[in-house]
Structure formats: structure tokens, C-alpha cells
């Protein structure tokens, strides 16, 4: 499946695909991954640095941020809203780990 054009065109082009939650294969064995709950995104932009993304996520109030300098996160910035998730069985906490960005 290749989506191009407007968001509406992308939505229509994916209508016949198997898409649903939880559907994030990159979580590995982490059963408490916020991706499983639909509360997370891994972000990469060609025109914005990963540290700029991490700092903007911090300023926007994301409670989970993992980015450059944290193991496995040198090629993307992970953001989530773990603090607001009552279903994951984990004590609510703010966790920011992007040491290369000063976070």
C-alpha cells in the first residue's frame, strides 16, 4: 500500500488493508509499550532534527520522550502520553531520555 496526496486520499487507499490496534511490530517484548495502547509515536522529519522534535515534545507536555543518546533511539524520537495511561499497569511517571539533546 502506498498513500499519496491528501489525508483523505490516504485513508481511502488504506480502506482494504488490515490496519488496527495494537499493530506496532517494533515493540519487541515490551508488553507495556505505549505503542500497544495507541498512546505513542516514533517521529522522524527530514527537515527537523531529532533533538528539535524532543525539545518540542517536552515543551508540549509529552510525559514520555526517548531520543538521541538513549539506546535504540538515535534514528527517531519516541513520544508518548504514558502519564495519562491507566491501563498499562505501570506507576504513572514522566520519563524523558534524550541525553544528546540535554533531556
Task: List per-block mean pLDDT (blocks of 10 residues) for the chain, which spans 103 residues.
Answer: 47 49 54 86 95 97 97 96 91 95 96
- Give the pLDDT confidence score for residue 91 in this predicted structure: 86
- Give the pLDDT confidence score for residue 1 in this predicted structure: 37
Please, what's the b/e burial string for 86-103 (b: 16 or more CB within 10 A of its CB; e: otherwise)?
Answer: eeeeeeeeeebbbeebeb
Give the span between the Cα atoms of 40 and 29, in whole angstroms. 16
Number of structural domains the chain divides into? 1
Range of the domain at 37: 7-101
- Give the pLDDT confidence score for residue 32 in this predicted structure: 74
- Would you name the residues annotated as active-site residues? 73
Give the span between the Cα atoms of 75 and 4, in whole angstroms. 24
Is residue 74 in a domain? Answer: yes
CB atoms within 10 A of CB 18: 6
Is residue 52 in a domain? Answer: yes
* Alpha-carbon distance values, 98 to 3, 7, 79, 82, 91 (Å): 31, 31, 11, 16, 21
Is residue 2 in a domain? Answer: no
CATH of the domain at 16: 3.30.1380.10
- Give the pLDDT confidence score for residue 12 in this predicted structure: 55
Give the span between the Cα atoms of 49 and 47, in whole angstroms. 7
Is residue 1 in a domain? Answer: no
Is residue 47 in a domain? Answer: yes
Amino acid at each position: 500500500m502506498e498513500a499519496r496526496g491528501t489525508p483523505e486520499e490516504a485513508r481511502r487507499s488504506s480502506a482494504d488493508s488490515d490496519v488496527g490496534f495494537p499493530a506496532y511490530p517494533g515493540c519487541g517484548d515490551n508488553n507495556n509499550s505505549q505503542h500497544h495502547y495507541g498512546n505513542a509515536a516514533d517521529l522522524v522529519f527530514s527537515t527537523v532534527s531529532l533533538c528539535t522534535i524532543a525539545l518540542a515534545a517536552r515543551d508540549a507536555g509529552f510525559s514520555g520522550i526517548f531520543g538521541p543518546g538513549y539506546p535504540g533511539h538515535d534514528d527517531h524520537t519516541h513520544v508518548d502520553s504514558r502519564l495519562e495511561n491507566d491501563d498499562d499497569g505501570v506507576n504513572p511517571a514522566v520519563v524523558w531520555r534524550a541525553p544528546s539533546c540535554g533531556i
